[in-house]
Structure 1
């Protein structure tokens, strides 16, 4: 792992898998934007901070996914730092029971064992109408981009560096992603279009890039997600159930399902694309003998 200078007091930690930005309040205090993954990242992040004599005063989170808030509670306990997050995202990760709303395929016991570390107490709630949040006396602009998650936000530091979180993915990620996640594909595409309105000096993508201009990247992302939806459409045959579609996508996309957690993950990845195809009128659904079946128009 290493620290990358971005601009002014804005830096980011390259974990090897993600970019986690932070803003320096002074020589040894920082505000992190997301806290990263527990497994495979926590030790490296902690070591890097200690080596550079940096202490976390606050964490502002883009959304409540495990690779973005996995260290919230750990760092809050260690540094007594403030956590800020969009209101809905904060409620999602406020308890094991609420996490069940996202990890619906898993039992409470499985969620507690695998994702219990995601549960955290949020100190500052960011509403859907807020255009900025002030943390530790420093103002960060907020740009709302729902779609990847229900209340995903982008965060701009005082250096005019915008952290896009998962609102976009990098070219490198697009080259290897088989079934990229969007909670609601249609809303995610709308938010990607909204990003054309952003005017910042630099942009950081969590997975994984730093850009001066994102105009071409936005277009590439939109086409990429639409192409994935088309690939899903192409495997659907008339009268398929969701299980049949999942089986066909698993085979055609060369995915692997060998645990309940993996089964639930593929379910969360796939269903939004099927819903999107229904929304845009590419497929229809009907109930036959109590079973939902999908067909092409």
Structure 2
């Protein structure tokens, strides 16, 4: 959660006389963990849990902007220089926190080691492992770190034994059939962009050329930060295609081209 949603959550806690004992971060993006420090400062004893690799990014937030910039971050991309403290690491499988049994599942793809949580009541928290219809309509090019892991995760989600599902950036609680349908829509959207890129690469294009063409084809609206997010996403799509032998590359006159 970010700062604005943090205060809304805190208002609900205060109104109901609740004291949070722990926070589980699905991944290290600031819109999902930026409120940690607030709760740690205002609720003594509140502990934070995450996976190992996400912990590294939470403790070194500048790494996100460095990835987007492929070097020292451009001004405006480094949204926070504050490190977040993580108390405990979670391992996959059944774990116990404060006498509460939880199942930790791997949801890699959107980020390097995103996790999900299934509660004893069969409620599954999925983080940003898939995107709502509204998000896909607004930002159709998905921001993904690893396309292959994302596809594996989306197929895995369709098999999760839970009754209700909660995802990021949506106020809706999904039932099992609905989450299966949404996972399939996310898969179709990823495959659409893979096919778009393959069609574009019937002629040699640079990574920036690919993004330019995708923006025109899909009416992608971008400012400075969104451009870099989308360019990073394009890199993930290209690396997936390249690593799976679907495209080739060459360097000419100091410019890297990809082609079928």
Deviates more, 1:85-94 or 1:161-170: 161-170
Deviation readout 1:195-246 (Å, 9 max, x if unpaired): 2331112111223232221333322221121112223333445221112222
State the distance in 2 between where 1:168 and 1:97 align.
25
User: Residue 34 of structure 2 aligns with which residue?
Assistant: 70
Deviation readout 1:25-80 (Å, 9 max, x if unpaired): xxxxxxxxxxx122x42332222222222222110011111211111122111113
Runs of 4+ in structure 1 off by over 6 angstroms are none
- The structural deviation recorded for 1:153 is 1.0
User: Residue 56 of structure 2 aligns with which residue?
Assistant: 91
- The structure in which a higher percent of residues are strand is 1
User: Residue 145 of structure 2 aligns with which residue?
Assistant: 183
- The structural deviation recorded for 1:141 is 0.4
Q: Aligned to 1:147, what secondary structure does the other structure show?
A: coil
* Equivalent in 34, 45, 53 of residue 9 of structure 2: 45
State the distance in 2 between where 1:180 and 1:112 align.
18
CA contact (8 A) 2:62 2:80 kept: no
* Equivalent in 137, 156, 162 of residue 99 of structure 2: 137
User: Residue 224 of structure 1 aligns with which residue?
Assistant: 189
User: Residue 282 of structure 1 aligns with which residue?
Assistant: 246
Q: Aligned to 1:141, what secondary structure does the other structure show?
A: strand
CA contact (8 A) 1:92 1:98 kept: yes
Q: Aligned to 1:271, what secondary structure does the other structure show?
A: helix
State the distance in 2 between where 1:251 and 1:238 align.
17
- The structural deviation recorded for 1:96 is 4.3
- The structural deviation recorded for 1:86 is 0.5
- The structure in which a higher percent of residues are helix is 2
Q: CA RMSD in A?
A: 2.4
Gaps of 5+ in 2: none
Normalised by the size of structure 2, how large is the TM-score? 0.87
User: Residue 172 of structure 1 aligns with which residue?
Assistant: 134
Q: How does 1:147-226 map to 2 (within 5 A)?
A: 147-208=109-170, 209-213=172-176, 214-226=179-191
- The structural deviation recorded for 1:292 is 1.4
- The structural deviation recorded for 1:112 is 9.0
How many residue pairs match? The answer is 256
Cα distance change, pair 108–215 in 1 and its aligned pair in 2 (3 A): closer
Gaps of 5+ in 1: 1-35
Q: How does 1:254-269 map to 2 (within 5 A)?
A: 254-259=219-224, 261-269=225-233
* Equivalent in 241, 244, 258 of residue 206 of structure 2: 241
Cα distance change, pair 293–236 in 1 and its aligned pair in 2 (3 A): same
- The structural deviation recorded for 1:189 is 0.1
State the distance in 1 between where 2:204 and 2:140 align.
25
Deviation readout 1:6-26 (Å, 9 max, x if unpaired): xxxxxxxxxxxxxxxxxxxxx
Deviates more, 1:167-176 or 1:180-189: 167-176
Deviates more, 1:212-221 or 1:160-169: 212-221
